[in-house]
Chains A and B, each alone.
Chain A
Amino acid sequence: MPKIKIDGIEFDCPEYWTILDAAKFIGINIPTLCYHEGLSTWGGCRLCIVEIGKDINTKLVSSCTFPVQEGLYIRTASKKVIKARKMILELLIAQNPTAKVLQDLASKIGLNKIRFKPKWENCIYCGLCIRMCEEQMMAKAIGFVNRGNKLKITTPFDKNSEDCRRCGGCIYICPACTIRCEGSHPESVLCNGCYNILQPTCLDVHDNYSCWMGLEGECGICVTTSTNQKINEKKEI
């Protein structure tokens, strides 16, 4: 049983686990998108990245596909991770700003600007629908077609597929075909209607989120008065 250390917690875990399994086991939340318990892992969205290694020899890996190893040192919420994760989410939202799942994630991890031109597509290529159709519905009616910027998900020849059982599993699992609630600015790329404003300030000072409750950016308890003041000032203007 390999011994690993996640965010300072050391423990043994079965060798067939991934980093994500281990993090879940001890209650550390890592955001995921293309991962689903009932399906094979794919590692396509990269949202679940974590930092492994110590000092300067660190590397970002996708936790849903990376198997645990003896002595693995993992940080799930370091500066590097948060920065990369925000960028990934930024790209995903630019692809499909209408998905509630993405908007909620943005609020959660404190993303407050999108620097890319929104594409308003309705798919983020997470591949969940394809795996759902294949692995749970045993239909294999849909799949990736074309490649590069022409990539899309469809049935053979874009026709009604005989293999499709009309079960709706693909729609059920799709994170992109959810409609976001109309926040204060329904037209904008990022709605940030809810709880994006109160972000903890740990990262301004430390290299990791050091939330003793393991809430990483959701609590807002430690938001300093200075940030609150800034927000209030903004509101007044």
Chain B
Amino acid sequence: MTQSKKNVEEVNIIIDEVFLDKSIKKHGNFLIPILQDIQESYRYLPEEYLIKVAEKLQIPLINVYGVATFYQSFGLVPKGEHIITVCLGTACYIRGGTNMVDVLTKELNIKPGETTKDKKFTLETVHCLGCCAISPVMVIDDKIYGNLTRAKLRKILNRFRENEEKLK
């Protein structure tokens, strides 16, 4: 997945018609991949876009809205730059997935489903990622981190933060 992050303006999103048309052309009128494209570039699904998509694909807005609210990977409010997904499936749960959530909740000061104030991190939970052998597992921006411990988790998080500092 290529990450071409655009500036997130919360008010008055200007619809990038070229981007949208391209996406529609690429995916041939299939709703979910188009929504995925929007989610990827804006980190959420702006209302204006959903209305535009419904218009362009000529489907009722409620269908677009229904799909947008059904899947966990879509959000109607902006998500953070880095999405941390902790697995709480059976295997990960038994091997301490909840501890990982605890650490993250404390470190980032957010609960699962929330985003930090500086819009850097969003914390989410899932039920099984399909790699139970290396449980407990978490995913940050499509990269999988397995066999986690509290210390390891803190290290990973700090690395992310240092990178941020460097970029500044």
Contacts of B70 in A (CB 8 A): 146-147
Do the beta carbons of A143 and B63 come within 8 Å of each other? yes
Q: Is A180 an interface residue (CB 8 A)?
A: no
Q: Is A177 an interface residue (CB 8 A)?
A: no
Q: Is A156 an interface residue (CB 8 A)?
A: yes
User: How many angstroms from the CA of A145 to the CA of B63 in the assembled complex?
Assistant: 9
Q: Distance (Å) between the CB of A147 and the closest chain B CB?
A: 5
Do the beta carbons of B69 and A145 come within 8 Å of each other? yes
Do the beta carbons of B66 and A140 come within 8 Å of each other? no
Q: In the complex where A156-B50, A157-B47 touch, is A140 in contact with B69 (Cβ < 8 A)?
A: no
Q: Chain A CB within 10 Å — which of B63, B69, B70 has the most? A: B69
Q: Distance (Å) between the CB of A215 and the closest chain B CB?
A: 42
Q: Is B126 an interface residue (CB 8 A)?
A: no
Q: Is B60 an interface residue (CB 8 A)?
A: yes
User: How many angstroms from the CA of A141 to the CA of B62 in the assembled complex?
Assistant: 6
Within 8 A of A (CB), among B113-164: none
Q: Is B61 an interface residue (CB 8 A)?
A: yes
Contacts of B50 in A (CB 8 A): 156
Contacts of B93 in A (CB 8 A): none
Q: Distance (Å) between the CB of A122 and the closest chain B CB?
A: 20
Q: Distance (Å) between the CB of A128 and the closest chain B CB?
A: 16
User: How many angstroms from the CA of A49 to the CA of B63 in the assembled complex?
Assistant: 29
Contacts of A144 in B (CB 8 A): 66
Q: Is B65 an interface residue (CB 8 A)?
A: yes
User: How many angstroms from the CA of A116 to the CA of B54 in the assembled complex?
Assistant: 41
Q: Is A4 an interface residue (CB 8 A)?
A: no
User: How many angstroms from the CA of A145 to the CA of B66 in the assembled complex?
Assistant: 5
Q: Is A69 an interface residue (CB 8 A)?
A: no
Within 8 A of B (CB), among A157-209: 157, 161, 163
User: How many angstroms from the CA of A145 to the CA of B50 in the assembled complex?
Assistant: 14
Q: Distance (Å) between the CB of A234 and the closest chain B CB?
A: 48
* CB closest residue in chain B, given A152: B69
Q: In the complex where A146-B70, A147-B70 touch, is A157 in contact with B60 (Cβ < 8 A)?
A: no
Q: Is A142 an interface residue (CB 8 A)?
A: yes
* CB closest residue in chain B, given A130: B62
Q: Is A18 an interface residue (CB 8 A)?
A: no
Contacts of B69 in A (CB 8 A): 145-147
Q: Chain B CB within 10 Å — which of A140, A141, A155, A156 has the most? A: A156
Q: Distance (Å) between the CB of B107 and the closest chain A CB?
A: 27
Q: Distance (Å) between the CB of B88 and the closest chain A CB?
A: 15
Contacts of A163 in B (CB 8 A): 60-62
* CB closest residue in chain B, given A159: B47
* CB closest residue in chain B, given A147: B70
User: How many angstroms from the CA of A97 to the CA of B100 in the assembled complex?
Assistant: 41
Q: In the complex where A156-B50, A157-B47 touch, is A145 in contact with B60 (Cβ < 8 A)?
A: no
Within 8 A of B (CB), among A129-144: 140-144
Q: Distance (Å) between the CB of A32 and the closest chain B CB?
A: 25
Q: Distance (Å) between the CB of A150 and the closest chain B CB?
A: 9
Q: Distance (Å) between the CB of A146 and the closest chain B CB?
A: 5
* CB closest residue in chain A, given B63: A143
Q: Distance (Å) between the CB of A161 and the closest chain B CB?
A: 8
Q: List 29 A-B contacts (CB under 8 A).
A: A140-B62, A140-B63, A141-B60, A141-B62, A143-B60, A143-B62, A143-B63, A143-B65, A143-B66, A144-B66, A145-B65, A145-B66, A145-B69, A146-B69, A146-B70, A147-B69, A147-B70, A155-B62, A156-B50, A156-B61, A156-B62, A156-B64, A157-B47, A157-B65, A161-B61, A161-B62, A163-B60, A163-B61, A163-B62
Given A143-B60, A147-B69, 12 other A-B residues pairs in contact with their CB atoms under 8 A: A141-B60, A143-B65, A145-B65, A145-B69, A146-B70, A147-B70, A155-B62, A156-B61, A156-B62, A156-B65, A157-B65, A163-B61
